[in-house]
Amino acid sequence: MVSGLTVDLEAHRTCIKIPTTGYNELMKAVNKSNEHVLAIGACFNETADSHLICVQADDGQYQTQAISIHNQPRKVTGSCFIIFSSALKASAGYLAKSSIVEDGLMVQITVETMAELRRSLREMKDHTVTCGRLDQSESQELVCVQWVEEKCTMFQKSEYKENGKIIRWTEVYIMILTDSAEHNRLTERIARAFCLALCPHLKLLKEDGMAKLGLRVTFDSQEVWKEFGSNGQPLPAQYLNALNSVLIPVIHSRGRKRDGEPIVMELIFYILENIT
**Range of weakest confidence among 79-88, 128-137, 223-232:** 128-137
Does residue 58 carry a pLDDT above 70? yes
Residue 82 φ/ψ, nearest 5 degrees: -135, 135
Same domain, 78 and 156: no
Distance CA 14, CA 141 (A): 8
Over residues 160-182, the pLDDT tens digits come to: 777 788 888 877 776 655 555 56
What is the number of structural domains in the chain?
2
Same domain, 16 and 144: yes
Distance CA 113, CA 130 (A): 10
Choose the final residue of a domain: 103, 131, 148. Answer: 148
Same domain, 247 and 261: yes
Looking at the domain assignment, is residue 76 inside a domain? yes
Same domain, 29 and 116: yes
Other Cβ atoms closer than 10 A to 232? 6
Looking at the domain assignment, is residue 190 inside a domain? yes
CATH number where 122 lies: 3.30.1360.220
pLDDT attached to residue 46: 75
Same domain, 121 and 170: no
Does residue 151 carry a pLDDT above 60? no
Same domain, 207 and 119: no
CATH number where 194 lies: 3.30.500.40
3-state SS, one letter per residue, for the chain: CCCCCEEEEECCEEEEEEEHHHHHHHHHHHHHCCCCEEEEECCCCCCCCEEEEEEECCCCCEEEEEEECCCCCCCCEECCEEEEECCCCHHHCEEEEEEEECCEEEEECCHHHHHHHHHHHHCCCCEEEEEEECCCHHHCEEEEEEEECCCCCCCCCCEEEECCEEEEEEEEEEECCCCHHHHHHHHHHHHHHHHHHHHHHHHHHHHCCCCEEEEEEEECCCCEEEEEEECCEECCHHHHHHHHHHHHHHHHCCCCCCCCCCEEEEEEEEEEECCC
CA nearest 43: which of 76, 75, 7? 7
Looking at the domain assignment, is residue 47 inside a domain? yes
Looking at the domain assignment, is residue 13 inside a domain? yes
Choose the final residue of a domain: 129, 148, 167. Answer: 148
Looking at the domain assignment, is residue 1 inside a domain? no
Same domain, 117 and 12: yes
Q: How far from 180 is each of 21, 38, 175, 227, 257, CA to CA, in Å?
A: 11, 27, 11, 22, 15
Other Cβ atoms closer than 10 A to 56? 9
- Provide the domain limits for residue 73: 6-148
Does residue 153 carry a pLDDT above 60? no
Looking at the domain assignment, is residue 182 inside a domain? yes
Query: Could you tell me how far CA 193 lies from the centroid of its own chain?
Result: 13
The percentage of the chain sitting over the pLDDT mark of 90, rounded to a whole number, equals 21
Same domain, 111 and 198: no
Same domain, 167 and 245: yes
Same domain, 72 and 114: yes
Looking at the domain assignment, is residue 77 inside a domain? yes
Same domain, 229 and 139: no
Choose the final residue of a domain: 148, 169, 191. Answer: 148
Other Cβ atoms closer than 10 A to 113? 20
pLDDT attached to residue 157: 46
Q: Note if the pTM is more than 0.85.
A: no
Same domain, 15 and 87: yes
Does residue 230 carry a pLDDT above 90? yes
